Chain A
């Protein structure tokens, strides 16, 4: 028996290298968990039929590396869940939308190709909010993913299936995408680690576009070290994504012996809203205390324009959504609903193929981009975004990291916010800024709220300057007591 609850990528890699268990044993253990739990949690839209064959191919990689005295590739045999908006060649991919019914990916996303080369096993397609729009997976065309810690609650979103799969030991790690918090918020709700890397650091070739100036692929895992392993495996400039960049952090200053510990900033002025659950603030104060006890300096900082972040986000993101989702027309792929002429084909296909939230954001985008409103909304939002970047540049001149809660509340009840889009959007209040500014941010488990006999997880968000994932990893490991 393999104890999946305490297993990490590192431990699994070592055990596979020693031959304690085979890659097949490992995926069979996960498949057993999936057959027990997925019908209740619904983290997967599809579990691939060839998982065992993939594991056997990975085992060959492991065996030949061992026979030749070479190092076993770090991800050989590691079972990973993949969000339904990331392409794996020859497999269905649909962004949990009816409009992509029947779509089969014609190529691998670059992130997938990199993991494949290291021997990763792709278990299945993880559920999500349709086209990554939402914070609860309730916008999936195929039903909600429930929170493994309390089945009456949402798993968060939009990468809710990925977070739930990791939290319920139905995958050792998972890939998500983060446009305004879609990796970090579900990680917070499900009690796992979620990393939104620096904008451009992981190629988006093969990731279905939502908000192109905001989107980034990110890993979800049980430990900071595992998230780091996946980030390092996927990062780097890619000729298929012209916005991708190399982000090799400068030899981490904090790693040098005798180097000063990172200084942590807290934007206190932004943590006073009455929409923040008192349990979240309690957990946050405990986190601050924990960092102080570990010897870090924590000081107050000002981010003068951060209160506008959410409004900026809900102008720029829908503008980009309305543009990106124009490609779904029933002509090139996916659903086709015929009408009397080509225009009616478009109207019918898009009217029926997109769910309510997708339709809402497409129209909102059309509104803020239309002449007469463009200056009042889009232009203004783009300008305030630049102010936010300046605020962060100034803050990072005096501190190395910024911390705040990941979300204002723990996971909410299924159905609680579906009829109130603004209430749902407010869950993104702490996460959208990192996407607008482009900086990396990570959610780590930081306590829980006891409710109805269940412990509902709460996350802490750590933000660093562009390209400084190394600071997130070092602080995250120290915070969680992970031994390097």
Chain B
């Protein structure tokens, strides 16, 4: 069973405020889900029996797709639309801003 403390820590890492009830329920849910995905342990034999392309271990062949760092859109053309979506925003002589609470 995954512990209460572990759930509380995961919630903090995930930036989620959970009620006491929810922490208890999450303990049960997460334990059940993790015990299902533990099926993966049995895959060890398959992994050992399979070699990667170069005779080494099997690795993901996904690669990042890069693009040229060029041709940006014209500065400011989306500003009004996007600022309007922010729950809190402000306009000063320096420009338009999304507002957040002080962090320092």
Contacts and interface: CB of A to CB of B under 8 A. Distances in A.
Contacts of A350: 14-17
A315 B61 CA distance: 19
A103 B81 CA distance: 11
Nearest to B65: A242
Contact of B10 (A307, A334, A363, A380): A363
A333 B82 CA distance: 8
B37 A386 contact: no
B98 A314 contact: no
A386 B103 contact: no
Contacts of A239: 67
Interface string A372-384: 0000010011111
A360 B33 CA distance: 10
Contacts of A360: 26, 29-30, 33
Contacts of A384: 40, 43, 46-47
B50 A363 contact: no
Given A213-B62, A342-B100, A314 B85 contact: no
B15 A329 contact: yes
Contacts of A367: 10, 30, 34
B7 to A, nearest CB: 7
Interface string B72-104: 000000100110011110000000001011110
B85 A333 contact: yes
User: Which size bracket describes the interface of A in this complex?
Assistant: 35 or more
Nearest to A380: B40
A347 B101 CA distance: 14
A354 B18 CA distance: 11
Given A347-B15, A366-B13, A333 B86 contact: yes
A169 B67 CA distance: 43
B14 A362 contact: yes
Given A356-B22, A383-B47, 9 more contacts: A243-B65, A312-B40, A334-B87, A336-B87, A341-B103, A346-B15, A386-B58, A387-B47, A420-B32
Closest CB pairs A-B (n = 9): A351-B17, A336-B87, A347-B17, A333-B85, A242-B65, A311-B39, A342-B101, A106-B81, A346-B15
10 contacts: A242-B67, A314-B37, A330-B87, A331-B87, A333-B87, A342-B102, A362-B14, A381-B40, A383-B58, A390-B50
Interface of A: 103-104, 106, 213, 239, 242-243, 304-305, 307-308, 310-312, 314-315, 322, 326, 329-336, 341-343, 345-348, 350-352, 354, 356, 359-360, 362-364, 366-367, 370, 377, 380-387, 390, 420-422, 425
